[in-house]
Chain A
C-alpha cells in the first residue's frame, strides 16, 4: 500500500482528501465509529473473519418451486427458513417428534429411550439441564450467532479454561488433583528456566542472534515468572502464577505463604501438560457462549419459526428423484409405520450420513461412495446432579473444566447460577472416539455409576452429594447412529466435493458436509451454501 508522501501544498486549504486507504479508514473511523470502520476494512480486503456473510439473500424468482427438506436439525431448518424467505414452498420431514436433532437439552421430567430400549427418566430439579450434544458456541461462529439473534435466544458466557479447576491423573502425585494454574505455571516456569539455561550456556548461539537471545531471555523471565537468576523457584513471584498456600490477607497476621512448585521431571512424566493447551485452540478460545436455559433453546425456537412446515414422526425410508422432482417415502412412526410419500421439485437432504447410507437414494456413484465412506464417531455425555455446588463452596471452582486421565476425561462445571444454594448439574463425563464406545456398551445406569466412581477420585464430596444422573451415548441415539461424521484428510480429498455437489435435484447439508465436523456452525454453513447453489440452479440467478 503506497503512502502519499507528497509535500506539495494542498489546493484546498482546510479539507483533507484521503489519498490512501489508511487515511480513508481513519476518516471513516473518526466519523462513524469502530464498527463501521471494521466493515469498511472488510470491504477493502483487510479483515476477514468467517465465511459467513449475514444475512444471505437468495436472488431470483423461484416461480413457485417446491423443496422437500429431510431432517429438522440445524442444517435442515436453516435451509428451510432461507428457502421460504426466498419464496419457495417448503416441507420438512423429521424423524423425531421435536425439532433440533442433535441440538438438544435434557430437563427434569424428560424421558429418553436409546437404541436397545434402555429408558432414562431425567430427575433433574426444575431449571437444571444437560446439553448432551453441542455445549459451546465460539465467538467466531457467525452464522450460529446470527440465528441466535434472529430467534431471540439469549446467550451467556461459557467458560472453557478455569485456572482453579483441576488437572488430574490417578498415577501422578499420588492421584491428587493439581490446580490448572499450578500445572500451567510450573510447566511454563520450568521450560523457561531450561531455555534460559541453554541460552546462557551458549546452546542457542548458532540458532538465535545475540540481539534475539537477549530478547528471548527477557521473554522467558517474564513468561515463566523467573527470578533475577532466571530460575523458577518457590517464592512470592511464582506464587502469583501458581497460587499460594496461604493467600495474602488483611490487617495483622496476614502474610501470604508461597506454594511449592512441582518438580519438572514429575510434571513431565505425569502428562498433565497435555491438558493445558485446549484453551489455545481457536474453537476453545474466549469468548465462548452457551444459550441461557440449554442449547436446545435454539432448536426449539427454530422449530417454532417453522411451525406448520415440519412433519414430525416421519422416518424416511426411500428417496427417489426423477425428471419431475423428488419423492421421499416415509413411515409414520406413530401409526405403526404406515407408509406415505412427500413430493417436491427439489430436495435438501440434511439426514446424517450414517443414516443416509442405509436409505435407498438414486444419486450418482460419487455421492453414494462419499456417503458410504463416513462412519460416525462414538461420544458420550453424562450429567450428574448434586445436592449442592460443592465445587464452588469448597474449592472455589466457578464454571470451567477439570481434565482427568480417568475414562470420564472431564468434569464440566455449570457456567450459570453461580453461588446459588440448592442442587446443580455438572457434566460428569464427556468422551469422544473409541473410549466412548466402552461407556456406550454399558447400561445407562452403569455409565452414571462409573462417572460417579471416577469423579469421586477428584471430588470426594461426590459420594455424599450425588443425587441422580443421565447418560447419553450417541452411538445409541436413535436418530443419528453416532455423534458426528469421521473425516480424515484422505477421505476429504477423495469424497468431500462429491458429497457436497448437487446431484440432479438433490443436495446434501449437515455438519458432515462442512469443514467444521461436529460443530453446529458447520451444519449452518453447509445449509447456506447448499441453498445458495440450489437457488442459482433453479432461478438461473
Chain B
C-alpha cells in the first residue's frame, strides 16, 4: 500500500482513537478538559476566568457553601500559596495547570496580589510555576 494511502488511513484511525474518552461518558457530549484559556494579561485572566467564582470584585460569595474573597486576602502573602492552589487545586477549586500556562498563571497571581486591596509586590515567577507544575505532573 502506498505511503499517502497509509497516512490517510492512519490519520483516520488516530482521529477515531482520539474520540475514545478514558472515563465514562459524562452528561455533556464533548467536554474539553485541556481547553486553553486565551486571555493573556493578569487582568484579562482574572476577569475571564477567576471572577467566575471569586466574583468581579474579588470578594467571593456565600450560598450553601462559599467562595473565598481574594480581596485583602492575607493568605496571599506567601507567593507559594497561590502558586500551589492554582497548579494543584484545593477542595472545591479545580487545578488550572492544564488550562493556564506558567506565564498566564504567574501573570494572574501577580495581578491579584497587587489589586483588590492586596499590596504584595514580590512576584511569582514563571520558573516557580513551572517547577510546581512539574512536581504536580510527576506526582499525578
Residue positions of A touching B, CB distance < 8 A: 95, 115-116, 134, 136, 191, 194-195, 197-198, 201-203, 264, 268, 273-275, 277-278, 281-284, 315-316, 351, 354-355, 357-359, 372, 374-379, 401, 403, 409-410, 430-435, 437-438, 440-441, 473, 475-482, 484, 486-490, 515-519
Tell which of B20-28, B71-79, B129-137 binds the partner. Answer: B20-28
Residue positions of B touching A, CB distance < 8 A: 1, 5-6, 8-9, 11-12, 15, 19, 22-35, 37, 47-53, 55-56, 61-67, 89, 91-94, 98-99, 140
Kindly state the separation between the CA atoms of A315 and B62 in the bound complex, as whole angstroms.
Answer: 11
- Chain A residues with CB under 8 Å of B55's CB are 115-116
Asked whether, in the complex, the Cβ of A357 is within 8 Å of the Cβ of B31, the reply is no
Asked whether, in the complex, the Cβ of B35 is within 8 Å of the Cβ of A434, the reply is yes
- CB closest chain-A residue, reference B48: A441
- In the complex, how many angstroms separate the beta carbon of A443 from the nearest chain B beta carbon? 9
Asked whether, in the complex, the Cβ of B25 is within 8 Å of the Cβ of A476, the reply is no
Q: Most chain-A Cβ atoms within 10 A of its Cβ — which of B50, B53, B93?
A: B53
- CB closest chain-B residue, reference A518: B27
Q: Most chain-B Cβ atoms within 10 A of its Cβ — which of A410, A476, A481?
A: A481
Kindly state the separation between the CA atoms of A486 and B99 in the bound complex, as whole angstroms.
Answer: 15
Contact of A282 among B25, B50, B92 (CB under 8 A): B25
Contact of A433 among B9, B31, B56, B62 (CB under 8 A): B31
5 contacts between A and B (CB under 8 A): A197-B5, A283-B27, A432-B31, A438-B48, A478-B63
Asked whether, in the complex, the Cβ of A198 is within 8 Å of the Cβ of B1, the reply is yes
A201-B65 in contact given A194-B9, A438-B48 (Cβ < 8 Å):
no
Q: State the main secondary structure of chain B at its contact with A.
A: loop
- In the complex, how many angstroms separate the beta carbon of B16 from the nearest chain A beta carbon? 8
Asked whether, in the complex, the Cβ of A430 is within 8 Å of the Cβ of B1, the reply is no
Contact of A201 among B1, B23, B24, B47 (CB under 8 A): B1
Asked whether, in the complex, the Cβ of B67 is within 8 Å of the Cβ of A278, the reply is no
Q: Most chain-B Cβ atoms within 10 A of its Cβ — which of A264, A438, A490, A515?
A: A438
A481-B63 in contact given A194-B8, A358-B92, A433-B33 (Cβ < 8 Å):
yes
Asked whether, in the complex, the Cβ of A486 is within 8 Å of the Cβ of B94, the reply is yes
- Chain A residues with CB under 8 Å of B64's CB are 95, 315-316, 351, 355, 478-481
- In the complex, how many angstroms separate the beta carbon of A265 from the nearest chain B beta carbon? 9
Kindly state the separation between the CA atoms of A359 and B30 in the bound complex, as whole angstroms.
Answer: 33
- Chain B residues with CB under 8 Å of A372's CB are 91
A274-B24 in contact given A203-B1, A354-B65, A375-B94 (Cβ < 8 Å):
no
- Chain A residues with CB under 8 Å of B37's CB are 434, 437-438
- In the complex, how many angstroms separate the beta carbon of B55 from the nearest chain A beta carbon? 5
